[in-house]
Structure 1
Amino acid sequence: MNEAFRLIGTPRFGGILVVSDHASNRVPDDIALGIDPALLDLHIAVDIGVGAIGELMAQRTGIAAFQGNISRLVCDLNREPHAPGVIPIASDGHAIPGNALDEAAHAARLARFHDPYHDALAALLVACPPSLILSLHSFTPELESHPDQRRPWQVGVLYNEDDRAARIAIPLLEAEGLVVGDQQPYSGKLLNYTMNRHAEADGRPYLGIEIRQDQIGDAGGQAVWAERLTRIANRVALEIGGNDPSCN
């Protein structure tokens, strides 16, 4: 396990790789964000539930999980390296004073976390290409800064230009009796950096999933969604092109 990422399970050629940029709320001991520690348990610091779902899915043969190993408040791995929010100075109305960095410190933070995360993911995809990348995130039922804007979708499917997997997955999720957002609660055309870089740029099929956090805030919900996403991801992978269970 690296400081910036961790790999769970054994990647397989033609298998499924679950990628979760925001799976951890860890803040290294030598970084002081200057915030109430209670904020680290909220959505501004971590995609609640996705780390556990990735671990459960990676127990299945043919599935591995690649996860960010630091809080998105330390470095947001799903943002362009030059985006203002890659090292956020505020999130959902909360100031992050420890992230008011000078240019050298900002560059050092990116070199420490952002670069190795994306370098490792790129290398993994070349060494053992999956048949499908499952990009897994979660979202809060409402933002503190906009409590009037409810988010009724239990799950959202996000994509940029490549909607091959989305078109297969949306009806499968709806068949589970779920309220499914197509490019909701926000558009994958706006926030899709990791998949733009590692999937869209090379034509790799991917499925971008956002689960509402009240669905997966406990072990029971996480188990339900891990089983559901395993079934659906395998179905999507097969429909897109099949898979090969071996890895050389």
Structure 2
Amino acid sequence: MTEFRPEIRHEAFEILGAARRGLWLVTCDHATNRVPEWLGGTLGITSEDMARHIAYDVGARGLSVALGEALDSPVVCSDFSRLVIDPNRGEDDPTLVMKLYDGTIIPANRHVGPTQVEERLQRLYRPYHAALAQMAGGRAILAIHSFTPALKGRPPRPWHIGVLHSPEDERLSRAVITELQAVPDWCVGDNEPYSGHLPGDAIDRHALKPGRHNTLIEVRNDLIGSVVEQQDWARRLAPALTAALGAVAG
């Protein structure tokens, strides 16, 4: 993997491979755990909590970058913590700004009001979505996420990878599941570890409503913690994704 150096950087997002001509737009909604300085650079939780899945999708950014290279396709990554505001939620979703997540209270969000939420929407959420809309064109949307091996007090999650999809358009995801189930040693979840559709989420907004092919990939984050692991997963995922898109798009 070449050096991670975005060509287009904004407070809310970064774009890599903007000129690539591949068939995909790779997106990473929860790429970083950055808290902007205008919010004080902290949400009042520990550095250990900010390194957890509650603040961002561990390993997803590196996997997205590697997949963008493998698929010769552009990549758009968010550059703010999901705890600041979650770009994979609709603007009217009650979990847009989380006050409690997997056992951790978020002090900076406990008393957040409409004015503060609107500022986060204007400066972060909406510019990120504008970048996705600008880059999407006629491409299929490949949303990359990661999931924690277990939530606090819950049983371990056995899946290595999950493919999430909406009943509104399962075509590409079904084809991806078929391809991934043929990969040796992978436990593949179908809409696991959770359902793949929320009204107003990023796939709904940029793929389902405009009618683009789409799939959302979740990889267990203990499997993609290093650059080597991210490259290996991208190397094995890329042929399966290419075959699946070819099967549904012709």
TM-score, normalised to structure 2, is 0.89
- Do residues 47 (structure 1) and 47 (structure 2) align? no
CA distance in 2, matches of 1:188, 1:229: 19
- Contact kept? 1:159, 1:207, Cα under 8 Å: yes
Percent of matched pairs sharing the same residue: 38
Aligned Cα root-mean-square deviation (Å):
1.7
Deviation of 1:65 (Å)? 0.9
The residue number in structure 2 matching 1:157 is 163
- Do residues 114 (structure 1) and 125 (structure 2) align? yes
The residue number in structure 2 matching 1:91 is 101
- Contact kept? 1:159, 1:192, Cα under 8 Å: no
Deviation of 1:240 (Å)? 2.1
Deviation of 1:17 (Å)? 1.2
Deviation of 1:143 (Å)? 0.5
CA distance in 1, matches of 2:19, 2:208: 20
Assess, with a 3 A threshold, how the Cα gap between structure 1 residues 14 and 59 changes in structure 2: closer, same or farther. closer
Deviation of 1:33 (Å)? 0.8
1:81-138 CA-to-partner distances (Å, cap 9, x unmatched) read 1212111111111011111212211111111111111122112223xx21x2111100
The residue number in structure 1 matching 2:82 is 72
Assess, with a 3 A threshold, how the Cα gap between structure 1 residues 212 and 236 changes in structure 2: closer, same or farther. same
CA distance in 1, matches of 2:117, 2:20: 36
TM-score, normalised to structure 1, is 0.90
Deviation of 1:199 (Å)? 0.2
Deviation of 1:45 (Å)? 0.7
CA distance in 1, matches of 2:19, 2:97: 30
For these two proteins, the number of residue pairs brought into alignment is 237
CA distance in 1, matches of 2:235, 2:34: 26
- Contact kept? 2:70, 2:234, Cα under 8 Å: no
- Do residues 138 (structure 1) and 146 (structure 2) align? yes
Assess, with a 3 A threshold, how the Cα gap between structure 1 residues 192 and 101 changes in structure 2: closer, same or farther. closer
What is the 5 A alignment of 1:1-248?
1-12=9-20, 15-31=23-39, 32-60=42-70, 62-99=72-109, 100-126=111-137, 129-130=138-139, 132-144=140-152, 147-160=153-166, 161-177=168-184, 178-190=186-198, 193-242=201-250
Q: Give 5+ residue unaligned stretches, structure 2.
A: 1-8
The residue number in structure 1 matching 2:6 is none
Larger deviation: 193-202 or 100-109? 100-109
- Contact kept? 1:141, 1:213, Cα under 8 Å: yes
1:4-27 CA-to-partner distances (Å, cap 9, x unmatched) read 111111354552111110011111
CA distance in 2, matches of 1:229, 1:191: 27
